[in-house]
Amino acid sequence: MNFGFSEEQESFRNELRGFAAKRLAPYYQSDDWAGRLRPELIGELAGVGLTGMRIPPALGGQGADCTTTGIACEEVARADFNACYLVLNAALVSEIVAANATEEQQARWLPPIAAGQVIPSLFLTEPELGSDAARLGLRAERDGQGWRLVGEKTSITLGVYAHAGVVFARTGGPGAQGVSAFFVDLDDRYVTRAAFSDLGNRSIGRASVHFDGLPVGKGDLIGREGGGFVQVMKGFDYSRALIGLMCLAAGQAAVDDALDYARERVAFGQPIGRFQGLSFPLVEYATYLRAARHLCYEALWRKDEGLDHTVQANMAKWWAPKVAAEAAHQALLTFGHVGYSDEVPQGQRLRDIIGLEIGDGTAQIAKLVVARELLGREYAP
Ligand SMILES: Cc1cc2nc3c(=O)[nH]c(=O)nc-3n(C[C@H](O)[C@H](O)[C@H](O)COP(=O)(O)OP(=O)(O)OC[C@H]3O[C@@H](n4cnc5c(N)ncnc54)[C@H](O)[C@@H]3O)c2cc1C
């Protein structure tokens, strides 16, 4: 048993913590107020390798393992939860491409992601369906040797800013077997975007993206035709542990700030930290955050070892964002009236974390996946 990180991972974490404190944390709230992606952010993240974590070094990436990618997500999200979506999206999309695309395709698509020249998004959800994604309806209509994409994707993180992405579309009949995955350039002549007005994640945003006949060729198909779900999405759920760490880091930052405040704020002649009614809930959340973090790292470690990690990753997906949101809520209350204002980022952390109780699959869907593993598929269809 070893609960430690390697020396290399520890020094990566330390370096990243310094970068994030200086270059990310100061903008967490102001970017939210501005409600837009700060143009220089992607370049800054790319400059320290954060957009190429899961991209091979030969293609300009870091070639990092999943555990180290988890460290990156924690450190970035601790300082600026929303900046971490750029790291997460790049890791998700490049993982799909690296695992399923040909060498020629990888050489075409991955270096610009690593360099921060291309912001990628993942296009799965549609207005009529999210959880039940295998029923998706965006059409890939035959057009000569290729296809044209017709239909709407919605709730797409970074959808306003993305240059490219993995789009799931129906090339065949009903069900999962009729779905293919394409890597597409979002040519604005064939794509219309509409930004959401959201509770959180305001600096990176979500959007509805309408595909008005965007042409795609055989060379844009990832894996085989009809393999979009069965092939491309297989083994992909480790990302749920990255999302867990992202949320836990923001929850931990909220609790850490609350502990600092509890040492200083005085009520009834003593620091409020001396009231166990105040300190014990913080202790409880610090405990839950730590336990959920172990679960996330176990999932990532298992993926790195080539072991099955579906149960751990999906346990992490339902539990970590929930614990993190509850911890952020408790931390907000610790600040009294100040916690409810923009003077501190507690309220924003809570708003931002809640998004990932839904994004990438809700708690119910993650529990359904775990139930299939624990009970058997016939009991959790
Ligand atoms: C912050 C954020 C970021 C997102 N980013 C992206 C993105 O980048 N790309 C993308 O494609 N999508 C994205 N999404 C969409 C997200 O993946 C979907 O919202 C999610 O999968 C749920 O789908 P839905 O909203 O259609 O809810 P529905 O599927 O309509 O579900 C509604 C409710 O019913 C519950 N439910 C559904 N089926 C069951 C069942 N069998 N048992 C019990 N309960 C059930 C759900 O848990 C939910 O509570 C994002 C969403 C958010 C909030």
For residue 360, the CA-to-ligand 1 centroid distance in Å is 7
Give yes or no: residues 315 and 375 share one domain.
yes
For residue 167, the CA-to-ligand 1 centroid distance in Å is 17
**With a 6 A CB cut-off, is 124 part of the ligand 1 pocket?**
yes
Residue 345 lies inside a defined structural domain of this protein: yes
Question: What DSSP element (H or E) covers 106?
Answer: helix 103-114
Residue 340 lies inside a defined structural domain of this protein: yes
Residue 352 lies inside a defined structural domain of this protein: yes
Whole-number pLDDT of residue 196: 98
Residue 125 lies inside a defined structural domain of this protein: yes
**Angle at 153 (CA atoms; ends 148, 156), nearest 5 degrees:** 130
Distance CA 29, CA 75 (A): 17
Give yes or no: residues 261 and 374 share one domain.
yes
Structural domain of residue 50, as residue ranges? 7-118
Whole-number pLDDT of residue 35: 97
Give yes or no: residues 75 and 154 share one domain.
no
CATH number for 273: 1.20.140.10
Torsion of CA 25, 28, 30, 36, to 10 degrees: 130
CATH number for 86: 1.10.540.10
pLDDT 10s digits, 315-343? 999 999 999 999 999 999 999 999 999 99
**Contact status, residue 171 vs residue 180, Cβ threshold 8 Å:** yes
Residue 1 lies inside a defined structural domain of this protein: no
Residue 59 lies inside a defined structural domain of this protein: yes
Share in percent of the chain as helix, strand, coil (round to 5):
55, 15, 30
Q: Which residues contact 108 (CB under 8 A, 6 or more apart)?
A: none
Alpha-carbon distances, residue 282 vs 181, 279, 307, 319 (angstroms):
44, 5, 35, 18
pLDDT 10s digits, 82-117? 999 999 999 999 999 999 999 999 999 999 999 999
Give yes or no: residues 259 and 368 share one domain.
yes
Instruction: Using only the alpha carbons of the chain, give its radius of gyration.
Output: 21
For residue 259, the CA-to-ligand 1 centroid distance in Å is 34
Taking alpha carbons only, the member of 21, 52, 23, 51 closest to residue 38 is 23
Residue 234 lies inside a defined structural domain of this protein: no
**Contact status, residue 324 vs residue 353, Cβ threshold 8 Å:** yes
**With a 6 A CB cut-off, is 364 part of the ligand 1 pocket?**
yes
Residue 11 in tokens: 């020094």
Tell me which DSSP letter residue 200 carries. S
**With a 6 A CB cut-off, is 360 part of the ligand 1 pocket?**
yes
For residue 330, the CA-to-ligand 1 centroid distance in Å is 26
Instruction: Report the mean per-residue pLDDT for the chain.
Output: 96
Total domains in the chain come to 3
| Position in ligand 1 atom list of the atom nearest CA 123 | 11
**With a 6 A CB cut-off, is 206 part of the ligand 1 pocket?**
yes
User: Amino acid identity of 18?
Assistant: G
Give yes or no: residues 197 and 298 share one domain.
no
Choose the final residue of a domain: 118, 150, 171. 118
If one counts every other C-beta atom within 10 angstroms of the C-beta of residue 127, the result is 12
Distance CA 44, CA 300 (A): 26
Q: Whose CA is nearest to atom 44 of ligand 1?
A: 364
**With a 6 A CB cut-off, is 178 part of the ligand 1 pocket?**
no
For residue 254, the CA-to-ligand 1 centroid distance in Å is 26
Give yes or no: residues 244 and 372 share one domain.
yes
Residue 13 lies inside a defined structural domain of this protein: yes
Question: b/e for 236-267, b at 16 or more Cβ within 10 A?
Answer: ebbbbbbbbbbbbbbbbbbbebbbebbeeeee
Alpha-carbon distances, residue 307 vs 237, 270, 283, 291, 312 (angstroms):
13, 52, 33, 21, 11
**Can you tell me which residue has the tokens 């597409």?**
184
Give yes or no: residues 114 and 243 share one domain.
no
User: Amino acid identity of 320?
Assistant: A
| Position in ligand 1 atom list of the atom nearest CA 125 | 11
Whole-number pLDDT of residue 235: 62
Choose the final residue of a domain: 118, 146, 173. 118
CATH number for 158: 2.40.110.10
Residue 66 in tokens: 């999943």
Distance CA 261, CA 254 (A): 11
**With a 6 A CB cut-off, is 122 part of the ligand 1 pocket?**
yes
If one counts every other C-beta atom within 10 angstroms of the C-beta of residue 193, the result is 16
pTM over 0.95: yes
Residue 274 in tokens: 């001396």
Tens digit of pLDDT at every position of the chain (381 positions)? 888 999 999 999 999 999 999 999 999 999 999 999 999 999 999 999 999 999 999 999 999 999 999 999 999 999 999 999 999 999 999 999 999 999 999 999 999 999 999 999 999 999 999 999 999 999 999 999 999 999 999 999 999 999 999 999 999 999 999 999 999 999 999 999 999 999 999 999 999 999 999 999 999 999 999 999 877 777 678 899 999 999 999 999 999 999 999 999 999 999 999 999 999 999 999 999 999 999 999 999 999 999 999 999 999 999 999 999 999 999 999 999 999 999 999 999 999 999 999 999 999 999 999 999 999 999 988
Give yes or no: residues 284 and 196 share one domain.
no
